[in-house]
Amino acid sequence: MADVLLTVGTRKGLFIGRRRGAAWEFDESPYFNAQAIYSVAIDTRGDTPRLLAGGDSSHWGPSVFHSDDLGRTWTEPAQPAVKFPKDTSASLERVWQLHPAAAEPDVVYAGTEPAALYRSEDRGESFDLVRPLWEHPTRAKWVPGGGGEGLHTVVTDRRDPRAVTVAVSTAGVFRTRDGGTSWEPSNSGVSAVFLPDPNPEFGQCVHKVAQDAATPDRLYLQNHWGVYRSDDAGGHWTDIGEGLPSTFGFAVAAHPHRGDTAYVFPINADADRVPAGHRCRVFRTADAGKSWEPLTAGLPVEDHYGTVLRDALCTDDADPAGVYFGNRNGELYASADDGDSWQQLASHLPDVLCVRAAVIA
């Protein structure tokens, strides 16, 4: 089995585990003690892997840290890596997303609250605001979701560095095809059941978007009610929720190698945010959403109440793929066989906010 690095961002620090062969080992204590870690990226594009972490200290405020030794030591830039320019009259609440670009080796994107997109060209040491999205004419009508107004998803295209797709709670999906100079809402077919007009151009509460491994124009979307697929890079969306016990949820992840394969963790309802049917189940589609199967081998069989948040479900790049999720009960689960079977890696952690994993040579 490939060696894997696993990072677990919680409300009280970052936990790091390593799988060597079939055995897991975790560092003794969390990094960034007492800081909420909302975003982590494992950048394996260079000769030396780089870890990025978006920390949120109640005393010092939010920051982006990086490590070039697999998390043993961390560096915080002398000047804030992500900062709103004075003329925006905004201040950074937190960094929701850190995303190494698929087609540009040194480029990293950051998504923030208030909802904004930042671009780095030095592997995440400094970032610049992508102003055309910040100044988008629809912005005045964006409304914060229950967790705040966060840009929580960034998807880039390995074929074209100018193509970037983002998702905002609760403004929906926006995309650019000219490197960020112009942006268009991309929500056709995605419902907003909580609005008087359930099919607006923008204003959907999109929870997460994942990109298919084999077909980059195929995207999977977990909405505030509704699971969708797009086959044209977000131009149009089709409901693929039939067969799930609930179409409400936060997380969606794609298989790293196998096309048409994605994972979700259904939640009972927006007013009852616990696992659907009180059962701990990941659901997998292997046919782009035509059908779904529950993956339960090794997961708890008793009533379960651990909610999985939008960035707390992920896959690694191993073959067969590792699949991971953490929940608000502080439990952490892993599969080393595409989700067919699971083992519990940790319990009694603080609330799990994000999980990221990657093969480390």
DSSP per residue over 95-158, as a string?
EEEEEE-SS-TT-EEEEEETTEEEEESSTTSS-EE-HHHHT-TTGGG---BTTBSEEEEEEEET
pLDDT tier, 46 (very low <50, low <70, confident <90, very high otherwise): confident
d(CA 49, CA 197): 46
- Check residue 147 and give its pLDDT: 87
- The whole-model pTM stands at 0.97
Write the CB contacts of 242 (distance below 8 Å, at least 6 apart in sequence).
Answer: none
d(CA 15, CA 28): 9
pLDDT tier, 23 (very low <50, low <70, confident <90, very high otherwise): very high
| 361 pLDDT above the threshold of 80 | no
| 1 pLDDT above the threshold of 80 | no
Tell me the mean pLDDT in the region 188-209: 95
Both tokens of residue 195?
A: 């609005």
What percent of the chain is predicted at pLDDT more than 90?
96
The DSSP secondary structure of 312-348, one letter per residue, reads SEEE-S-SSPPEEEE-TTS-EEEESSTTSS-EEEE-S
Q: Residue 336 corresponds to which amino acid? A: A
pLDDT tier, 197 (very low <50, low <70, confident <90, very high otherwise): very high
d(CA 295, CA 279): 11
Q: How far is CA 239 from CA 23, 230, 337, in A?
A: 40, 9, 28
pLDDT in tens, 55-100: 999 999 999 999 999 999 999 999 999 999 999 999 999 999 999 9
- Per DSSP, 304 falls in state -
- Check residue 145 and give its pLDDT: 86
- Check residue 146 and give its pLDDT: 86
